[in-house]
Structure 1
Amino acid sequence: MKALPLVVVMVLVASPVLGAAGPADGATHSMAPDETELAQVASPSNETIHVLDIPSSELARSTVEAHHVDLGPSLDFSALGASGQIQTGASIERIESATDDSTRQQLILDELNTIEQRAIALQSAQRSAIERFNADDITARDLLIELARIDAEARALDERRVALREITSETPDFSISSGRLAALERELDTFTGPVRTHAVSVVTGQSDAARFSVRTSETGFVLSVVTDGEYVREAYRADLRNRDQNTVSYEEALDIVAENYPTIYSNRAAQNGTNVISAGDSHRVQINYRDGQLTAYVDSGTGRVFKESQTRPLESITTRDNASGVRDGLALTVDRTYPGGPLRIQLNESETGDPVDANVTIGLEASQESTLLGHTGSDGTIWTVSPSASYTVTVIRGNSAVVLTTSPTPMPYVGENATDTENGTSATVTSTPTESTESTELTGSAGSVSTASRAGPQAPTGGG
């Protein structure tokens, strides 16, 4: 779909939505959709929210694992933060102490060159981390921590970039191209994301343990997590970039995002719903919509979305595709989703519909091992991120257990991979009581459903 007619306004101050971006950081465009049209738009809850992800043919590895506070990385992040502040402070003090304007100007340029060189080094470090994970030389935990470390350094470098921009404005008869500063900001953006930020919060003990989905290709990755009542994801695809060309305008970038994310775009907010920042070899398009926020980066050479982050409140997420099983008065429902997507597990009394609080485990069907997710709580609900392959959900209450085996739904890809049907839609459900030996064949909405029994339930053991 094409972007609807928009009123373009040049923003001359930092937008509260975009954070620290200032007037020297490139062209910022704030857009508002037609309010009459918005009134006719239905809620996106039951519509497809497309995502940037890795085609099944290019998927190298995928895991879903729980991560928690870790003293070693926690100390490393603390040291990294302190080091960044010290380096920035020392750089600015050295510049301000220059004995003449010529020396001051040269020091500013030297510091800017240093940041640009570090950005190149971070690109290499990120690529190396992905390659080592794909080669099974490091674990998913190691990869996540390395990506989080790169994120933290990139943010520290951007703070130094902003400090240099400010001190440059105070230097007589001297300036740095706003395009150069903005291009550097966009490049540092490549290494940051909300999932990596949350990973830092988890390993440093500022947030509770969480299950992270990690999916990689040869040069890209997708991370996702459920935390604080939200589903958060970020994706980066280096293979969709072409730095040798610069042919896509910011208007075209908005059209590209509108076509790739039609549901999000059609439900954008009437005020400050869309912002576009164009700099260097990419365009950052941020959309605030009724049920979340999208930040998509469009490469100026390929005209493709190569980086994405999305945040969606769990309360806004529903599904039309679920697997369910009923046994011994318990009704277990799994709202199926795509690999790495927001997975909802619901447990109720089958007759009254009242929510049931019980422990829930999940594990890959092929591994025969499960891990404890937690308990469903007073509302009978627990959220996590979906595995990338068939998985088994087990709920035990007293002497009864319900075991449900199902699989992810197809990935709702953006762009050229939108028709890739990565996963099937069949599901098998097994409900296991503690007494009785009868077996019944049923038919469910997600495919073949069966109920069976055995002498007594066996809780799955811990694992990945």
Structure 2
Amino acid sequence: MKVLPLVLAFVLVASPVLGAVGPQAGSPPADALGDTAAQVQTSSNGTIRVLDIPASSVVRSTVDLQHVDLGPSLDFAGLRAGTQIQTLSSIERIRSASDDGVRQQLILGEINQIEQRAIALQSAQRNAIEAYNSGGISARELLVELARIDAEARELNERRIELREISAQTPDFSVDPGRLAALERELDTFTGPVREQAVSVLTGAETPTRFFVRTSEDGLVLSVITDDTYIREAYRSDLRNRDESGVTPTEALDKVAENYPYVWDSRATQNGADVVGAGNSYLVRVNHDRGQLFAYVDSGSAKVFKEAQIRPLDTISNGTMATEVKDGLNLSVNRTYPGGPLRIQLTETETGDPVDANVTIGLEASRESSLLGRTGADGTIWTVSPGSRFTITVIKGNAAVVLTVSPTPVPHLLTNTTKTNETTTTPASDVTPSGTATPQFDG
């Protein structure tokens, strides 16, 4: 199987578990999970649902090939060096304080500074999305800015950890664990596995890769295909309510169980689910039989406002298949939702043997197309699906086959919003020419 190469390196630093509940798959629902978790133990038809932007709210959507860029690469290196030096300097100043009272003041001052930087990062992320939506910056420039914000947030979290440890070593002093945990959750808002991959590509650590970017006025969806893994992240600031609070760890688990029934039903029997956090949000982590889910539940709105999903390609179902046969070639495309994992396969019509050939993709409304790569020895290549109708073209010698299809509806979260989720019916003309669509969930 041929995929666009990229190494997955997603490291999530977890705070001390303030409230952890790990019900086991297949066992009766624990009382602590309430009635909701029990109610979702029904067939979910294999659907892995995702946090997404409503179709009516989408401002821009694109899939672009990103590659090494010397400018951002130097910026990232300078940012890391600068923040690391600042952290070392801050810790040294605290350790060399003249007395415990001064040390306590310095620790609190540093925590205040991280909290202020978190506010600044929130503004920077919002400004970057607004600039992209207005056409002021390109998708590439948006990814660069999001990657820069990601890098700074990770370094700030490292400083937070250092401050937590040094405060524990200070006599007669402690920092509220809830405050530190809430700060970590806030910094999590600006990090994600796709952004981390963008850093690797932009700095030349990984080869050029296609990234899906989709935005609304207050939302963002990113996805990418790695060596053998599909990764996706989404953020919706409109689903947050910072003026209210009250969700408990158990309620956060309930919310994830409601919204991701298949993921919840198929969670691992050991350490299948846990929840960490405090303050205005909780992180629920679920290991299931087709990957990993990281869902963030807002304490005020009681809704999932951010998620990250990591799924090996060999666990992804075939999806809704469209086919076209011409010149002895059989081109099959397992359709998926915008930004979802798109599988393309090429075989010989008579024998069914895989065919190695170049594959290009382009939006139907545009005359431009880009090279995805070769299907390889197994005749298969993966990429992320565009957000609108697109055309796949394969040329092998004097033979050529072309297939135009539309993405499938997004499998929105079940109970995340009060409105009925937007769905669309795929018209017959969504597959051309003469391709057929087999109803089968792509998840």
Query: How does the TM-score come out when normalised to structure 1?
Result: 0.86
In the alignment, which residue of structure 2 is the partner of 1:225?
224
Alpha-carbon distance in 1 for matches of 2:97, 2:435:
79
Alignment check: 8 A CA contact 1:412 1:418 kept: no
Secondary structure (helix, strand or coil) at the match of 1:444 reads coil
Structure 2 gaps of 5+ residues are: 1-9, 30-40
In the alignment, which residue of structure 1 is the partner of 2:388?
389
Alpha-carbon distance in 2 for matches of 1:165, 1:159:
10
In the alignment, which residue of structure 2 is the partner of 1:429?
432
Alpha-carbon distance in 2 for matches of 1:270, 1:228:
27
In the alignment, which residue of structure 1 is the partner of 2:59?
60
In the alignment, which residue of structure 2 is the partner of 1:26?
18
Deviation of the 1:349 alpha carbon: 0.6
Deviation of the 1:445 alpha carbon: 3.0
Alpha-carbon distance in 2 for matches of 1:408, 1:320:
11
In the alignment, which residue of structure 2 is the partner of 1:444?
436
Pair 1:122-2:121 in alignment: yes
Alpha-carbon distance in 2 for matches of 1:75, 1:56:
37
Amino acid at match of 1:421: T
Alpha-carbon distance in 2 for matches of 1:47, 1:267:
10
Alignment check: 8 A CA contact 2:324 2:435 kept: no
Deviation of the 1:419 alpha carbon: 3.2
Deviation of the 1:444 alpha carbon: 2.5
Deviation of the 1:443 alpha carbon: 6.7
Alignment check: 8 A CA contact 2:26 2:265 kept: no
Deviation of the 1:321 alpha carbon: 1.1
Alpha-carbon distance in 1 for matches of 2:264, 2:380:
30
In the alignment, which residue of structure 2 is the partner of 1:145?
144
Alpha-carbon distance in 1 for matches of 2:424, 2:244:
31
Alpha-carbon distance in 1 for matches of 2:101, 2:319:
66
Amino acid at match of 1:428: V
In the alignment, which residue of structure 2 is the partner of 1:336?
335
With over 3 angstroms needed to count, the CA separation of the structure-2 counterparts of 1:251 and 1:425, relative to structure 1, is farther
Alpha-carbon distance in 1 for matches of 2:261, 2:305:
17
Amino acid at match of 1:339: P
Alignment of 1:56-455 (within 5 A): 56-414=55-413, 415-416=416-417, 419-422=421-424, 424-426=426-428, 427-430=430-433, 442=434, 444-445=436-437
Per-residue deviation, residues 17-72 of structure 1 (Å, max 9, x unmatched)? 9954343x6334444334589xxx9999x721100000011101001000011111
Alignment check: 8 A CA contact 1:276 1:285 kept: yes
Alignment check: 8 A CA contact 2:14 2:276 kept: no
**Which stretch of structure 1 is more off in the superposition, 258-267 or 420-429?**
420-429
**Which stretch of structure 1 is more off in the superposition, 25-34 or 247-256?**
25-34
Alignment check: 8 A CA contact 1:81 1:152 kept: yes
Q: Please say which structure displays the higher CA radius of gyration.
A: 1
Deviation of the 1:247 alpha carbon: 2.2
Alpha-carbon distance in 2 for matches of 1:134, 1:101:
50
Alpha-carbon distance in 1 for matches of 2:84, 2:330:
54
Alignment check: 8 A CA contact 2:25 2:266 kept: no
Secondary structure (helix, strand or coil) at the match of 1:306 reads strand
Alpha-carbon distance in 2 for matches of 1:380, 1:53:
31
Identity rate of aligned residues, in percent? 61
Secondary structure (helix, strand or coil) at the match of 2:317 reads coil
With over 3 angstroms needed to count, the CA separation of the structure-2 counterparts of 1:20 and 1:233, relative to structure 1, is closer
Bigger relative contact order (CA 8 A; separation at least 6): 2
With over 3 angstroms needed to count, the CA separation of the structure-2 counterparts of 1:36 and 1:208, relative to structure 1, is farther
Alpha-carbon distance in 2 for matches of 1:42, 1:230:
28
Amino acid at match of 1:107: L
With over 3 angstroms needed to count, the CA separation of the structure-2 counterparts of 1:20 and 1:232, relative to structure 1, is closer
Deviation of the 1:423 alpha carbon: 6.6
Secondary structure (helix, strand or coil) at the match of 1:27 reads coil
Amino acid at match of 1:271: Q
Alpha-carbon distance in 2 for matches of 1:213, 1:418:
26
The count of residues paired between Structure 1 and Structure 2 equals: 415
Alignment root-mean-square deviation, CA:
2.1
Alignment check: 8 A CA contact 2:182 2:279 kept: yes
Alpha-carbon distance in 2 for matches of 1:32, 1:123:
36
Alignment check: 8 A CA contact 1:273 1:287 kept: yes
Deviation of the 1:322 alpha carbon: 1.2
Alignment check: 8 A CA contact 1:56 1:422 kept: no
Amino acid at match of 2:190: F
Deviation of the 1:422 alpha carbon: 4.8
Alignment check: 8 A CA contact 2:319 2:336 kept: no
In the alignment, which residue of structure 1 is the partner of 2:3?
none
Amino acid at match of 1:369: E
With over 3 angstroms needed to count, the CA separation of the structure-2 counterparts of 1:22 and 1:308, relative to structure 1, is closer
Per-residue deviation, residues 145-176 of structure 1 (Å, max 9, x unmatched)? 10111010000000000000000011111111
With over 3 angstroms needed to count, the CA separation of the structure-2 counterparts of 1:50 and 1:339, relative to structure 1, is same
Alpha-carbon distance in 1 for matches of 2:281, 2:136:
32
Alignment check: 8 A CA contact 1:220 1:236 kept: yes
Query: How does the TM-score come out when normalised to structure 2?
Result: 0.90
Amino acid at match of 2:257: A
Alpha-carbon distance in 2 for matches of 1:296, 1:163:
26
Deviation of the 1:82 alpha carbon: 1.0
With over 3 angstroms needed to count, the CA separation of the structure-2 counterparts of 1:43 and 1:325, relative to structure 1, is farther
Secondary structure (helix, strand or coil) at the match of 1:256 reads helix
Alignment check: 8 A CA contact 1:323 1:406 kept: yes
With over 3 angstroms needed to count, the CA separation of the structure-2 counterparts of 1:36 and 1:327, relative to structure 1, is farther
Structure 1 gaps of 5+ residues are: 1-16, 431-441, 448-464
Amino acid at match of 1:32: Q
